[in-house]
Amino acid sequence: MFDVVIAGGTIVDGTGRAGYRGDVGIKGEIIEAIGDLSKAEAKRRIDATGLTVSPGFIDTHTHSEGALLVDPQHANGIRQGITTEFLGIDGMSYAPLSAYNFKAYRHWLGGLLGDPPEDLDMSSVSAFRGHYHKKVSVNTAYFVPHATVRLQALGFHDKPLRGDPLVAAKRMVREGLEQGAVGFTTGGRYYPGPWGDTDEIAELCTAVREAGKVYMCEPRALTIASRAFGKHGVTEGMEAARRSGAKLHFAHRQAHGPGRSRTHGRPRHHLRYLSLSDRQLDRDLLSSG
Ligand SMILES: [Zn+2]
């Protein structure tokens, strides 16, 4: 006896296999059978004729952390089939922050992230995740955000992290990853993030590499490009990954077209990195030889 049979739909299972007709039998939270279940008993049978049946989608770029906290049903995501959302994208979010910094940054980010209650505990990644797990309709995965960490380590100051604040920021990244964050993010234009430089990001990324997690980069270009290796966010992201050994994913890219390509990088920026990096490697080899 199944709890639910979803009958007659076209199953697209996410493995890359072409869609096929079939029924899905569910007991509790587990899919127990896929196939012809027309004779099976079920407490509830859902007719999916003419519809597609698939696992939930992962939305990798939402900025919905504030919206989820005021509207946990989140129908705009769920009704599109999204069952997991990534939070902490582009280097900015709510944790880890002191109560004072959360209040200020929540207001600063309101236009992008929404307006969650201001008295929430955001002092750690664990506390942050506790506000979502089994309390909102989607699953969430969190990335430790660079601007947030440097706000907590140094405040709103226009200088790269060095010395004690850098040590503190790296500890926050490491602890956040230990507490279940899936990676680390930087952003191109969300302060205080762009006040950092490539040395700072590469150092923080060593904690990412040690945890075996991923560095997701929204490249900067117009925000203090002079502080970026190669004077661009794409070359900066690649260099931080090279120095630290962290796995790199670009959150924003544009391969063609006018306008925004200046902020997010064209393929020529990748090519420029490769030539810069080759020259650096040549120097390294010469000096070690
Ligand atoms: Zn974004």
The count of structural domains within the chain is 2
Residue 52, strand partner residues: 10
Helices 198-211, 233-244: inter-axial angle, 10-degree rounding: 50
Same-domain pairing of 94 and 215: yes
pTM, 2 dp: 0.86
pLDDT band at 289 (very low <50, low <70, confident <90, very high): very low
Residues 33 and 160 in one domain: no
Q: Cβ distance 75 to 35 under 8 Å?
A: no
Is there a single domain that holds both residue 17 and residue 104?
no
The residue among 106, 131, 132, 130 whose CA lies nearest residue 118 is: 106
Residues 159, 31 share a domain: no
Query: What are residue 261's phi and psi, to 5 degrees?
Result: -60, -25
pLDDT digits (tens, 9 = 90+) for 145-177: 999 999 999 999 999 999 999 999 999 999 999
pLDDT in tens, 127-137: 999 999 999 99
- Same domain flag for 49 and 130: no
Residue 63 CA, ligand 1 centroid: distance in Å: 7
| CA dihedral (94, 98, 101, 106) positive or negative | positive
User: Confidence class of residue 92 from pLDDT cuts 50, 70 and 90?
Assistant: very high
User: Contact 19/55 with Cβ under 8 angstroms?
Assistant: no
- Gap from CA of 90 to ligand 1 centroid (Å): 5
Is the same domain home to 154 and 186? Answer: yes
- pLDDT bucket at 223, cuts 50 / 70 / 90: confident
66: CATH: 3.20.20.140
81 and 37, same structural domain?
no
Does 27 score more than 50 pLDDT? yes
- Write out the residue range of the structural domain in which residue 6 sits: 2-53
pLDDT at 258 exceeding the cut of 60? no
How much distance in Å is there from the Cα of 239 to the middle of ligand 1?
21
Average pLDDT over residues 53-70: 94
Q: pLDDT-based confidence at 283, cuts 50/70/90?
A: low
Ligand 1 centroid – CA 114 distance (Å): 14
Q: Indicate the residue among 53, 78, 93 that finishes a domain.
A: 53
On average, the pLDDT of the chain sits at 90
Nearby residues for ligand 1 (ion, Cβ within 5 Å): 90
What are the DSSP E strand ranges found in 182-284?
183-186, 214-217, 247-250
- For residue 63, pLDDT beyond 80: yes
The pLDDT assigned to 269 comes to 63
User: Residue 11's domain is classified under what CATH number?
Assistant: 2.30.40.10
- Same structural domain for residues 146 and 215? yes
pLDDT of 252 reads: 80
